């Protein structure tokens, strides 16, 4: 019992700190109000699928991958480049020429300059890939990368749906908690008024009045804490949905509506096909990409052929207004072929083959891991389901005990100490019921995710 209280206190403290941080991030315009957005659980999940920060980021990844495909395609298309350069040789380098006269006299050394004061050239180049074994494989690999990005977005959307569902549950539970504690506060305040009236007429002791005041104060604290937790829960839900924190929202579903199908839910794991799971599907696509990488390393033994056409236009002279002109053109093919690399390329091929074998091992590990994950998720749900049913019954029993004790107290048949003890027992059973309710809903959504039905 004490461990549960410590756990609850720690959890409430962390949630309160989170609320302070989130609320502190609100800009000044958060003071303005706007129309509330209303969501059922399914509507909230669908909204977040397209509008959450994570989903938008995954969409950008797909767009970037699609641009990468065109980048590789463009490598095999004509490439046209131009370049121009204008030069003013401010100081032309001098060279020394030695001349020997025919009469045998001493050699004569002359300084002279080679070059012109001004020069201008313009060149154009057109190149076309004729053959490169890596080209088509590169285009294929880039398209596989798009597939991986799309599957990663699907995985991201599943994670977002889970996060939104869990946040939605927390918000509903917090709202239910607040409503219950408010009712409990009203009852205690009414009982306090009646007790004070009895005391004023000499039918109750001051101890009874003080005991009821303590109960009322405790109830008020519970209400204040529940209000803070509701504020936190709504802030977390908005963030997971991609909604600004200052935007008011309304939750259409209630906790009882969502609990009804979960209470009687029976897991059916026999039809689970691991190959349909998104995590396994991503690995399958990565396996296809790795096959392409192995092929790409193998084709590096083949030659690469490029066609090219160059044209140059040149002007030069000592006077800028009177320069000589010339031009040239070239058309040809270039061939690059590896002859001997001391086993370098062979080692690279072997590395990628090993990576492919490692990926296959990862797929087998993933297959067994997903089965084990489903088994654990099913077991956790069944345990949560059993705990929930027990705590639900326990909360009902504790309330009946507390309610009967309260009636007896009003009639003078029970002490205020007994009433306080039974109220504490009821509150503790209520907290346990709330926690088991949240755990039931969380384990259910985790099971749906594990079986690939989220």
Among 447, 432, 441, smallest CA distance to 385 is for: 441
Q: Is 128 helix (H, G, I), strand (E, B) or coil?
A: strand
Q: Distance (Å, rounded) from C-alpha 58 to C-alpha 37?
A: 25
The parts of the chain modelled with pLDDT lower than 50 are 1-33
- Confidence (pLDDT) at 34: 55
**Domain coordinates in residue numbering, the chain:** 2-76+132-302+342-450, 80-131+304-336
Beta carbons of 263 and 74 less than 8 angstroms apart = no
Residue environment code for 44-58, b if the CB has 16+ CB neighbours within 10 A, otherwise e? bbebbbeebebbeeb
What does CATH list as the number for 2-76+132-302+342-450? Answer: 1.20.1600.10
At residue 413's C-alpha, the angle toward residues 412 and 414, to 5°, is: 95
Question: What residues form DSSP beta bridges with 309?
Answer: 126, 331
Provide the token pair at 69: 């495909």
Q: Distance (Å, rounded) from C-alpha 213 to C-alpha 196?
A: 10
Provide the token pair at 231: 């504020």
Q: Is 27 helix (H, G, I), strand (E, B) or coil?
A: coil
**Chain center to CA of 344:** 39
- Confidence (pLDDT) at 29: 35
Q: Distance (Å, rounded) from C-alpha 382 to C-alpha 272?
A: 18
Beta carbons of 167 and 237 less than 8 angstroms apart = yes
At residue 224's C-alpha, the angle toward residues 223 and 226, to 5°, is: 65
Beta carbons of 307 and 127 less than 8 angstroms apart = yes
CA distances from 205 to 195, 197, 209, 212 (A): 9, 11, 7, 11
Where would I find the H helices in 25-80? 41-51, 53-75
Q: Which helix (H) or strand (E) holds 111?
A: strand 108-113
- Confidence (pLDDT) at 20: 41
Provide the token pair at 144: 């596989």
């Amino acid at each position: 019992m004490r461990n549960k209280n410590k756990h609850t206190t720690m959890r409430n403290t962390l949630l309160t700190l989170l609320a302070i941080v989130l609320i502190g991030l609100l800009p000044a315009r958060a003071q303005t109000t706007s129309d509330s957005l209303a969501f059922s659980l399914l509507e909230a999940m669908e909204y977040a699928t397209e509008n959450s920060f994570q989903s938008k980021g995954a969409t950008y990844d797909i767009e970037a991958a699609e641009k990468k495909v065109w980048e590789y395609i463009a490598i095999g298309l004509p490439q046209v480049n131009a370049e121009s350069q204008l030069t003013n040789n401010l100081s032309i380098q001098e060279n020394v020429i030695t001349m020997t006269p025919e009469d045998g006299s001493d050699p004569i050394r002359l300084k002279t300059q080679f070059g012109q004061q001004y020069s201008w050239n313009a060149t154009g180049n057109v190149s076309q890939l004729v053959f490169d074994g890596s080209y088509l494989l590169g285009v294929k690999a880039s398209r596989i990368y798009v597939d991986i990005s799309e599957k990663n977005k699907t995985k991201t959307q599943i994670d977002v749906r889970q996060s939104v569902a869990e946040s939605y549950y927390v918000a509903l539970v917090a709202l239910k908690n607040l409503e219950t504690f408010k009712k409990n506060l009203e009852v205690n305040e009414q009982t306090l008024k009646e007790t004070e009236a009895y005391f004023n007429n000499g039918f109750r002791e001051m101890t009874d009045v003080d005991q009821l005041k303590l109960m009322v104060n405790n109830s008020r604290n519970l209400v204040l804490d529940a209000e803070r937790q509701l504020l936190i829960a709504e802030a977390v839900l908005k963030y997971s949905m991609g909604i600004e924190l200052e935007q008011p929202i309304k939750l259409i579903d209630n906790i009882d509506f969502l609990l009804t199908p979960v209470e009687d839910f029976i897991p059916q794991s026999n039809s689970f096909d691991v190959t349909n799971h998104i995590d396994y599907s991503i690995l399958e696509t990565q396996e296809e990409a790795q096959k392409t990488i192995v092929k790409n390393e193998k084709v590096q033994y083949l030659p690469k052929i490029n066609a090219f056409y160059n044209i140059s236009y040149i002007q030069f002279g000592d006077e800028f207004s009177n320069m000589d002109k010339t031009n040239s053109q070239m058309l040809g093919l270039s061939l690059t072929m590896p002859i001997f690399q001391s086993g370098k390329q062979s080692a690279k091929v072997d590395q990628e083959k090993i990576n492919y074998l490692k990926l296959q091992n990862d797929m087998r590990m993933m297959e067994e891991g997903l089965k084990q994950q489903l088994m654990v998720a099913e077991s956790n749900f069944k345990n949560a389901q059993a705990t929930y049913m027990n705590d639900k019954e326990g909360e009902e029993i504790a309330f009946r005990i507390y309610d009967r004790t309260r009636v007896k107290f009003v009639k003078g048949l029970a002490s205020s100490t007994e009433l306080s003890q039974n109220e504490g027992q009821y509150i503790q059973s209520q907290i346990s019921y709330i926690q088991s309710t949240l755990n039931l809903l969380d384990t259910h959504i985790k099971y749906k995710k594990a079986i690939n039905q989220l």
